[in-house]
Amino acid sequence: MPGKVLIVIPCYNEEASLPILLPELLSTKLPNGYELNAVIINDCSKDNTVAVAKNYDVTVLDLPVNLGIGGAVQTGIRYARDNNYDLAMQLDGDGQHPPKELAKLIRYHDETGVNVVIGSRFLEKEGFQSSFTRRLGIQYFHWLNRFLTGQAIYDSTSGFRLFDRKAIALAAASYPDEYPEPESLVVFSKAGLKVAEVAVVMAARQGGQSSIRSFGSLYYCIKVTLAMFFSFIRKP
- The span from the CA of 212 to the CA of 192, in Å, is 30
Quote the pLDDT of residue 179. Answer: 75
Domain limits for position 97: 4-233
Q: Are 187 and 231 in contact (CB under 8 A)?
A: yes
Binned at pLDDT 50, 70 and 90, residue 213 comes out as: very low
Whichever domain contains 143, its CATH number is: 3.90.550.10
Mean pLDDT over each residue of the chain, to the nearest integer? 88
Domain count for the chain, please give it: 1
Per-residue pLDDT of 158-195, as tens digits, reads: 999 999 999 999 999 999 887 788 999 999 999 999 99
Q: Say whether pLDDT at 209 is over 60.
A: no
Quote the pLDDT of residue 108. Answer: 97
Quote the pLDDT of residue 139. Answer: 78
Quote the pLDDT of residue 214. Answer: 44
Binned at pLDDT 50, 70 and 90, residue 231 comes out as: confident
Binned at pLDDT 50, 70 and 90, residue 212 comes out as: very low
CA angle 144, 150, 151 (to 5 degrees): 85
Binned at pLDDT 50, 70 and 90, residue 152 comes out as: confident
Q: Say whether pLDDT at 25 is over 90.
A: yes
Q: Are 140 and 34 in contact (CB under 8 A)?
A: no
- The span from the CA of 185 to the CA of 132, in Å, is 23
Quote the pLDDT of residue 145. Answer: 79
- The candidate with the shortest Cα–Cα distance to 157, out of 203, 74, 221, is 221
Q: Say whether pLDDT at 228 is over 60.
A: yes
pTM to 2 decimal places: 0.87
- The span from the CA of 201 to the CA of 187, in Å, is 26
- The candidate with the shortest Cα–Cα distance to 200, out of 130, 106, 127, 108, is 127
Q: Are 183 and 74 in contact (CB under 8 A)?
A: no
Per-residue pLDDT of 87-144, as tens digits, reads: 999 999 988 899 999 999 999 999 999 999 999 987 766 555 565 566 677 778 878 8
Could you tell me which residues are beta bridge partners of residue 195?
A: 116
E strand residue ranges, 121-233: 161-163, 195-199
Binned at pLDDT 50, 70 and 90, residue 215 comes out as: very low
